[in-house]
Structure 1
């Protein structure tokens, strides 16, 4: 099944009067239609890709493309197609993509702000996602105790090869090692150096 391609919809139609059909000579009026073409993915319009003009003699029913007609008819038609624009829904896909990018950017910025806030104000239960410097893998450590100047954590017994998948090993039963202590300044430095790259707080 094809989920992408192009489609067309009618933007405007009308009549040209006092024009001579090149085919039958007797025709004095022509019906015209202006179609807009747009690209789509999964039936969602992404962006316009052009316009098509079709003219038909009301007498002999001969259909013409605009380029096939005499200059006089072209000039009359120019007045008719002036101001015909693509509707906003032709840009639905681009609008959705733009909104998704804006939302993702906002959420990412908000996460960064929260991480900084949590690092500066640690709480028991905070989980720090960290890069294991020796192996290049990723693990986590959980805050167990917070004093006026220090933080005590226990490390996760497991590591994982993708930083975005740290949640898979963040389980209570995986924290069995002894306490390890850091000064609050050391924790801030590790965060600034991106050794600690994310803070999860319930």
Structure 2
């Protein structure tokens, strides 16, 4: 379940100049509070949505929204709002997202590099994840390596999603029988998209 919503943070509070509270008529008692709303996912701020604010009288405690303010106060409010800068933490989610994207790109490149290395230099115990003719997925494990051939034990089970291969990747699921393939045949299966990934402990 994904939790998302909005929140707000006070980004500036300034005392107004040459203003009088319209309610209690006290001079220089008005403050402007500026807030910035932000969207969040799992309570992590992702990006700001906009700014709003209100005035506050320190003497009579009257609070006014922008629409309720007299014109002179409204002008000062707009200036303070325009100059108010929010905290960088309201962009924390974007920073996290950028890091995740960078990590995924790096990991994908590293996985591709490792797969090619494992394909060129196979060792006993390597597990080949492959797509079967019926569209399901399974694995086969290298039991013996010779100069030009690989001898693989085929997993007794298949599964309909590649992301669930871990459920059948168990030593007891591999029989003693092995099938021999030339190294060139295995590389061809990789190029054809039959072998999808190679895992090595």
TM-score between both structures, scaled by the size of structure 1: 0.85
Q: Is the 8 A contact 1:157 1:177 kept in 2?
A: no
User: How far is 1:132 from its partner?
Assistant: 1.0
User: How far is 1:22 from its partner?
Assistant: 4.2
User: How far is 1:198 from its partner?
Assistant: 0.9
What residue in structure 2 maps to residue 109 of structure 1? 109
What residue in structure 2 maps to residue 28 of structure 1? 27
Judged with a 3 Å threshold, the aligned counterparts in structure 2 of structure 1 residues 140 and 61 are, in CA distance, closer, same or farther, namely closer
Distance 2:191 2:57 in 1: 74
**Per-residue CA distance 1:53-100 (angstroms, 9 max, x = gap):** 111345554322223334433333333334312211112223223322
Distance 2:52 2:132 in 1: 60
| Superposition map of 1:88-167 within 5 A | 88-133=88-133, 135-167=134-166
User: How far is 1:118 from its partner?
Assistant: 0.5
Secondary structure of 1:198's partner? strand
Distance 1:179 1:59 in 2: 88
Secondary structure of 1:107's partner? helix
What residue in structure 2 maps to residue 67 of structure 1? 67
Distance 2:59 2:156 in 1: 85
**Per-residue CA distance 1:120-159 (angstroms, 9 max, x = gap):** 11112111111111x2211111112222222221211221
User: How far is 1:190 from its partner?
Assistant: 0.6
Instruction: Indicate the larger mover: 78-87 or 105-114.
Output: 78-87
Distance 1:40 1:120 in 2: 46
Judged with a 3 Å threshold, the aligned counterparts in structure 2 of structure 1 residues 3 and 188 are, in CA distance, closer, same or farther, namely closer
Count of residue pairs brought into register by the alignment: 199
What residue in structure 2 maps to residue 184 of structure 1? 183
> Structure 1, unaligned stretches of length 5 or more?
none
Judged with a 3 Å threshold, the aligned counterparts in structure 2 of structure 1 residues 3 and 143 are, in CA distance, closer, same or farther, namely closer
> Structure 2, unaligned stretches of length 5 or more?
none
Q: Is the 8 A contact 1:149 1:184 kept in 2?
A: yes
Q: Is the 8 A contact 1:156 1:177 kept in 2?
A: no
CA-based RMSD: 2.3
Q: Is the 8 A contact 2:126 2:200 kept in 1?
A: yes
Judged with a 3 Å threshold, the aligned counterparts in structure 2 of structure 1 residues 124 and 65 are, in CA distance, closer, same or farther, namely same
